Amino acid sequence: MNATQHPELAVSTRGLTKRYGDYTAVDHVDLEIRRGEIFALLGPNGAGKSTTIEMLEGYRSPTSGTATVLGENPLGASAAWRARIGIVSQQAADIERFTVREIVRHFASLYPDALNPEETLERCGLGEKMSARVPSLSGGQKRRLDVALGIIGKPELLFLDEPTTGFDPAARREFWELIRELGDDGTTILLTTHYLDEAEHLAQRVGVIARGKLLEVAPIDELGGVEARVPIVSWRDADGRQFAERTRTPGALVTKLVAEHDGEPRDLAVKRPSLEDIYLDMLERINTEAAASAPASPAPTSTTTEQNR
Ligand SMILES: Nc1ncnc2c1ncn2[C@@H]1O[C@H](COP(=O)(O)OP(=O)(O)OP(=O)(O)O)[C@@H](O)[C@H]1O
């Protein structure tokens, strides 16, 4: 069944919810991702990122709410729709018998307008491994193969679930380059990551999810609001007591402290909160609020475990 969706949107959800028994893994998520956007979903372990993505891919059914992806309901979407999306999930490809080239060629043959397999492998840094069998690849190289398989069908929308886990720093940089190129070509990308620098490098907007709830969606440099970015000046007095003050005019405060201390205050530091500081503050706040509003949702039990959907 075709759903109505604003043509500029690649993804839109309303009240998207997934429950396992009494446990709510994804809780009324309203999310809009524009076509051509690179969007990063951040959140701690178990926050609900993969569950959200899997509902958008059509691999998990929502308990309630709706999702529209490239104009269709992902559940039971058409084969033509499936050819328009690319998926790099957390499970690495494990195709024992084949060489890298064979497997990528096979995947390419499944799509109406696939990329060139050899060129794609070069782009993914596997040019020298085309004739290698999959089991002989290192962890990072297997992940690159996953990425090659995810993009081979020239997707309009690419889902990347923690794509650079296990990459060495150089491989991550190369991967970021590849993702930026895909973004420049107009591919919409939804990625989840635990690396804030990755989100900073790649994403135009980020969403933070924790305990299944989407806490905030914002351009990366506006996350947490203006207030969260106010610098903190810290110092010690002559007795060694630690002080810290948030101020929009750190220079003026430092000048005042220097005058008051008749010289350099001890351990003087001016710190502008990093994205990581802001993100961790948000998570701490939500955990404190959750603890205050007990009883919390019980953790999922084996009786509520759902294997596939
Ligand atoms: N099939 C299932 N049955 C029961 N609970 C599940 C099932 N799948 C996921 N969950 C629970 O739902 C919550 C969200 O899981 P999800 O995999 O979406 O988290 P995540 O944000 O992707 O975490 P991570 O960063 O660790 O990959 C977790 O508490 C998880 O244990």
> Residues 219-235: pLDDT tens digits?
988 988 888 888 999 99
Instruction: Place 307 in a pLDDT band, splitting at 50, 70 and 90.
Output: very low
* Residue whose C-alpha is closest to residue 120's, from 84, 159, 147, 95: 147
pLDDT category, 201, cuts 50, 70, 90? Answer: very high
**Index of the ligand 1 atom closest to the CA of residue 20:** 4
Minimal-distance CA residue to ligand 1 atom 18: 48
pLDDT above 80 (res 299): no
Break the chain into its structural domains and give their ranges.
Answer: 9-84+155-222, 231-272
The CA 173 to ligand 1 mean position distance, Å, reads 28
Q: Which atom of ligand 1 is nearest to the CA of 43?
A: 21
Going from the Cα of 133 to the center of ligand 1, the distance in angstroms, rounded, reads 32
CA of 51 to the centre of ligand 1 (A): 6
Ligand 1 contact, 43 CB (< 6 A): yes
Mean pLDDT of all residues in the chain? 88
Give the Cα separation of 138 and 160 in Å (integer).
19
Task: Write the pLDDT tens digit of every residue in 8-61.
Answer: 999 999 999 999 999 999 999 999 999 999 999 999 999 999 999 999 999 999
Q: Span 9-84+155-222: which CATH code?
A: 3.40.50.300
Looking at residues 269-291, what average pLDDT do you find?
88
Q: How far is the CA of 164 from the centre of ligand 1 (A)?
A: 19
